[in-house]
Structure formats: C-alpha cells, structure tokens
Chains A and B, each alone.
Chain A
Amino acid sequence: MSDPTAERIKDIVGGNDVVLFMKGVPAAPQCGFSAAVVQILSQLAVPFKSVDVLADQAIREGIKVYSDWPTIPQLYVKGEFVGGCDIVREMFQAGELGALLSEKGVAAAR
C-alpha cells in the first residue's frame, strides 16, 4: 500500500507522541469504545492527538491496514500501536498504561 493514505498515517503517528484514531471527537465520541479510551487518557491527564475516522473514509480503512487491526479505536504511543479499547482498558486497570507512557517519556500533564 504505497498510497498517500499510508504516508499520511505514518506522518500522523510519527509526528505525535500519543495518537488516538477514534470515531467522533473527544468531546463527542460516536462510539462507546472510542469514548472509553478517551476517558482513560483523560484520567491519565495525557495530551493526545485524536483523528476522527468518521470524517475521513481513506484513513478509516487505511488505519486498519496500517496496523493489521480490524477495529477502531486504535491507540499509538511514540509511533507504536498499543491496542484497541479492551487492551487499553486492561493495561490502564493494571497500571501498565501509565507505566508505558512514563517509560516512553510521555509526561502526564499533572
């Protein structure tokens, strides 16, 4: 897939410490799973860039190919795919997500 979409995704994921591909925007998620991840990131007080896949059909399909992962939301930290809603939630509950963020040098706001 040497198309412009893959390049765009690579730029977004590479250009931001924490990126969440989601349905809707953080203030108004359009899906419960996206909402759950937004809530977790908010609780961790970590700044993140969000990409609304509903507003961009090419990204919506392209991101699934990029990560070889079939669903949205998808969380990336420092260019690395962390997981979808279930994994993010499990990691958060186990304290692993906060640990990963500090390990990667992504400072929480507080």
Chain B
Amino acid sequence: MAMVQSEIERLIKDALPGAHVVVVDLAGDGDHFGARITSEAFRGKTRIQQHKMVYDALRGQMGGALHALALETSAPK
C-alpha cells in the first residue's frame, strides 16, 4: 500500500519539530514523491546524515511502502 502525501509530511514533522516540509507527488501516481525540508536540526550535518534523519522519520517505510522520495534537505539560511 502506497503512502499518502499528508502521512509523509506528518511523519517528518513529528520527527523534526519546527521543520518546514513541502511534499509533492512528482508523477501524480501516489508512488513517486519529492520532499523539500528545511530544519534547524540539519545544521552542521552532512547530506548523508540529513537524509538518514528523514529516512529514520519515515520509520522503515522508505524503500518499502514508499518507493521513491526525492529529497532536498537544508538548514535555514
């Protein structure tokens, strides 16, 4: 079962309080999403660490129920 946009957004926001999260359904098929996330928690972290934090937030759904999530992460400017 695919995940819905709002669920992805909620899981990320729960794990990264105060984060600015925009999730888009890239292909309109409910299966390929993109997320742009800005969070103070990313500051000083490498990209790998930042993406891992997001994957952790999704609690193992990534690569399973969630096939594709293109990530763009950054700390607030």
The stretch of A4-12, A39-47, A81-89 that contacts the partner chain: A81-89
Q: Please tell me if B62 contacts chain A, counting CB pairs below 8 Å.
A: yes
B68 contact set on A, CB distance < 8 A: 33
Residues of chain B touching chain A, judged by Cβ–Cβ distance below 8 Å, are: 47-48, 51-52, 55, 60, 62-64, 68, 70-72
B46 to chain A, nearest CB (A): 9
The prevalent SS among residues of B at the interface is: mixed
Which size class do A's interface residues fall under? 10 to 19
Q: CA–CA, A61 to B70, complex, Å? A: 21
Q: A33-B68, A70-B55 are in contact. Are A83 and B48 (CB under 8 A)?
A: yes
| Structural contact, A86 and B52, CB atoms closer than 8 A | no
Q: Please tell me if A103 contacts chain B, counting CB pairs below 8 Å.
A: no
B9 to chain A, nearest CB (A): 18
